[in-house]
Amino acid sequence: MNTSVSIQTLFEGFARELKKVADIDWATIALVDGNELLFMVLSSTIGSAWQPGERIPLKGTATELVCQDRQAIYEPDLKRHHRFWTSEVHVKEGIRSVVHLPLSVTDRTIGSLILASRKPNAYGRGQIKLLEGVALQIAAPIENAQLYARLEHRLTEVCDIVSRVEAKDTYVYGHSKKVNVYAVALAKKIGLSSDEVSALSAAALLHDIGKVGIPDKVLNKKEKLNKKDWEAIKAHPKLGANIVGNIPKLASAVNSILYHHERWDGSGYPKGLKGEEIPLKARILAIAESFEAMTSHLPYRRALSLDEALKELRQGAGLQFDPKLVEVFIDIVEAELPERIKIGQDISSEQPPP
């Protein structure tokens, strides 16, 4: 369901309920966003100069003052007297009285619930007191809805970036999906909680997102990489962690993305962490990604067979990889994974983009 549509529908029902206790022809939730005022949702029976999602300058509006003073502002008859430039717009729409109610969350006010009527002196002192209580009750859910909408938008952007990363590098098309399968299987086998498995799954799907900052010619280079190329490649965990770190809901995936190229012997990057200094989920991700890379065709070498890949893992145990995790992963691959995924092939029926 589209978030903005669902919120608008809920507000329409909310406005209908309010009409049982007050005369309301026009209602909106107006949120402060920097120097602008955002009409998050809006309900009207008389038309409106503004629409849901529209923004206007905050300066000179009643909401600006409401947020400063954290008190309701009531204009009983706009034709006789009004204080704000927005009131002039209301008068043109036939509105006579309007009340601006603060939406306060803990120590701040995020905007106002604005209710208006075509009748002058539409709201009494008792009604305003009641409506102030209503505004106080809905402020926190409104802020949560706004944060969710922002998160949803950012997640969409992240998914688009992931698609572009894989489109840039045709050799790793579907790579993240297979890394996710391996990482989740290992995490479950060692008994990580569902929340930890979920965080690791997100990290596995997004671990290469930092490759958006690597030139195409480096990503798809068939000859041996030079020092400058390697510097570009080694920057991608930090860039990826920075991108994902801007999304609060994905904060638990940041360290796994940042440290998945660290090595058990301390010779990895970006920090040169050693042994159990490396976060557990990053150690899991390192094994999952390496195994997937070994069994995939890359620009500079053929895919290894299953036996060859397992041999490489054993040789890397205690050097590149956590030796205990390697043992568990090899048991999983030999006992389970060949039945679920054909090693060296994409897990979906999709074909790489041209």
Residue 89 lies in a domain: yes
With a cut of 70, say whether residue 160 has pLDDT above it. Answer: no
Residue 60 lies in a domain: yes
Residue 159 lies in a domain: no
Residue 346 lies in a domain: no
Q: Would you place residue 177 in the very low, low, confident or very high pLDDT band (cuts 50, 70, 90)?
A: confident
End-of-domain residue from the set 149, 180, 213 = 149
Query: What is the chain's mean pLDDT, rounded?
Result: 85
* Same domain membership, residue 309 and residue 182: yes
With a cut of 80, say whether residue 86 has pLDDT above it. Answer: yes
The dihedrals phi and psi of 87, each to the nearest 5 degrees, come to -65, -30
In whole angstroms, what is the distance from residue 144 CA to residue 157 CA? Answer: 20
CATH number at residue 99: 3.30.450.40
Q: Would you place residue 348 in the very low, low, confident or very high pLDDT band (cuts 50, 70, 90)?
A: very low
Q: pLDDT per residue over 92-138, tens digit each?
A: 999 999 999 999 987 789 999 999 999 999 999 999 999 999 998 88
Q: pLDDT per residue over 286-322, tens digit each?
A: 999 999 989 887 766 788 988 999 999 999 999 999 9
Q: What was the pLDDT predicted at 107?
A: 76
In whole angstroms, what is the distance from residue 122 CA to residue 189 CA? Answer: 65
* Same domain membership, residue 205 and residue 77: no
* Same domain membership, residue 174 and residue 323: yes
For residues 23 and 117, is the Cβ–Cβ distance under 8 A? Answer: yes
Residue 93 CA to chain centroid, in angstroms? 39
End-of-domain residue from the set 149, 177, 209 = 149
* Full DSSP string of 98-138: EEEEEEEETTEEEEEEEEEESSTT---HHHHHHHHHHHHHH
Q: Would you place residue 347 in the very low, low, confident or very high pLDDT band (cuts 50, 70, 90)?
A: very low
Tally of domains within the chain: 2
* Same domain membership, residue 215 and residue 305: yes
Return the DSSP state at 217.
H
With a cut of 50, say whether residue 350 has pLDDT above it. Answer: no
CATH number at residue 280: 1.10.3210.10
Residue 187 lies in a domain: yes
Return the DSSP state at 171.
G
Q: What was the pLDDT predicted at 87?
A: 92
Q: Would you place residue 147 in the very low, low, confident or very high pLDDT band (cuts 50, 70, 90)?
A: low
In whole angstroms, what is the distance from residue 206 CA to residue 14 CA? Answer: 39
Q: pLDDT per residue over 202-253, tens digit each?
A: 899 888 888 777 777 787 777 788 888 888 889 889 988 988 887 777 889 9
Q: What was the pLDDT predicted at 16?
A: 87
With a cut of 50, say whether residue 59 has pLDDT above it. Answer: yes
Which residue intervals of 169-295 are DSSP H helices?
A: 175-189, 194-206, 216-219, 227-234, 236-245, 254-259, 280-294
Q: Would you place residue 346 in the very low, low, confident or very high pLDDT band (cuts 50, 70, 90)?
A: very low
Q: What was the pLDDT predicted at 351?
A: 37
* Same domain membership, residue 324 and residue 262: yes
Residue 106 lies in a domain: yes
Residue 121 lies in a domain: yes
| Full residue range of the structural domain in which residue 137 is found | 3-149
Strands of 26-33's sheet in order across? 55-57, 36-44, 26-33, 108-117, 97-105, 73-75
Residue 55 lies in a domain: yes
* Same domain membership, residue 270 and residue 183: yes
